[in-house]
Structure 1
Amino acid sequence: MSVGAALYVAICIASVAVIGLRLTQWKNHPRTRPLTSALILLLGGLLLRRPEILDDQWLDTHTDRTLHLANWSNVLSDLLLAGAAAYICVQVARVWGNHHWQKPIAVAFVVDAIALIVLWQVSDASRVPTRFIASLGGLSGVYSAVSAATILVANLAVLISLALAKGVPTRAKIALAPMALGGLVGVVNGGLRIACAIDPDRFLSTRNHWAWSLAEVGVALYILSGFVSYLAQSRLPELVEAD
């Protein structure tokens, strides 16, 4: 097993373990649910973004051609990541005590998901197999930009929220540090995807080199933050996982 494959397996095992631990808090500690849900969706998105899965076209070649299921793992991964982004935004809204933002966030997610599905179907993304949809140009590039913007906005919300936080106890800072780094990685990854959608000729090779590593590191940091907050959740301030 290569080092890269071993790291991937380790991240998946750690993710399942942390999610399992956090699920034990689901019933008695509702404030943990948004981040736990985000972690589940992030893991699903990571699994589907494995290069071997992105390159696999079994479903498309074994179903009716009128269905146009090329790059199915790409769009499904993007939908899961959009859901994770929504839960992350809910978490940020709770941090600031803006519980009324939860419904608009849910509506925005539904609109975003519908837009992604429609753009995928009407563009070449559902017909031409490729690892990176942005490379197809046209409406496929728009699809990629919308997906990337969703991730970028969610991670920017995390970074801005943590940067503006005042009077955070040391224990909370420890839990928030990997989340902040995960948000930073997410911003870089989202920015790279948008750049690739705008100018694939210039940025496609860079994304091809860094996309998978950034995805792994970002998910690993969010999982680490989820584990730290699990350990200290009964004593963490509202900044980490607000009711």
Structure 2
Amino acid sequence: MKEQLRLDNVTVLRGKTRILSGITTTIAAGQILGLVGPNGAGKSTLLNAIAGLVPHGGTITWKGKGVDLRDIGFMPQQYQVRAELSVLEVVLLGLHHRLGWQIGADSLNAAAGILHAFGIADLAGHRMQTLSGGQQQLVLLAQRLLREPELLLLDEATSALDIRHQMHVLRQLRAYVARTGALVLIAIHDLNLAARHSDAVLLLDAGKIAGQGAFDTAITPQRLRSVYGIEAEFLASSSGPPLIVPLSSCA
């Protein structure tokens, strides 16, 4: 049986405000799950709850046990490296759990390889503070993948990237899942990117699950109307899932 992430009646309160309400689902490993929904739907809160970073009701288990942040990969929405570190040093921190006083050739080669895979090998000696937001995002993604976690939680991890780099990163995640059998949960706003690069999606609305499964069954014109408040047209595509074209606001 495949490894699974199980959420049973997960609820998060912020003061008296209910951010997540009774989230119950099972997600198998070996896939990319796109976490979608409008602003304020609870996507970031859900990822933080899975990572154990916010108090929650209900239970969350990975591979039959509680989630240990030390054993997974988590990239929050807002994260910056403030220390005076080079790109290579930041990526190598992904292996901090096994680095000793000296850094071996294997670790250096692995770090160099993943920088090359992300197309940023030329930045290895640059200081993080000199990079653009998108470049920093690529470095931090490379750091997470270098550790090869079986569960990877990404909160809008492509938000600062242009479309070419977004597509490249999502292809890298696809290759990573194919190679390792990991589970990747990625909160993403672009529904067309989610349609093309996710195996399934989980649609949140006001802290509840509004749809889940294959994109074309979870995301429908009716759900875009009720959840996002928009009218949209679904155009057939010869290369895969339909293209969503927003037409107007329902308000």
Report the TM-score range of the alignment, normalised by the length of the smaller protein.
under 0.3
Structure with greater strand percent:
2
Structure with greater helix percent:
1
User: TM-score if structure 2 supplies the norm length?
Assistant: 0.26
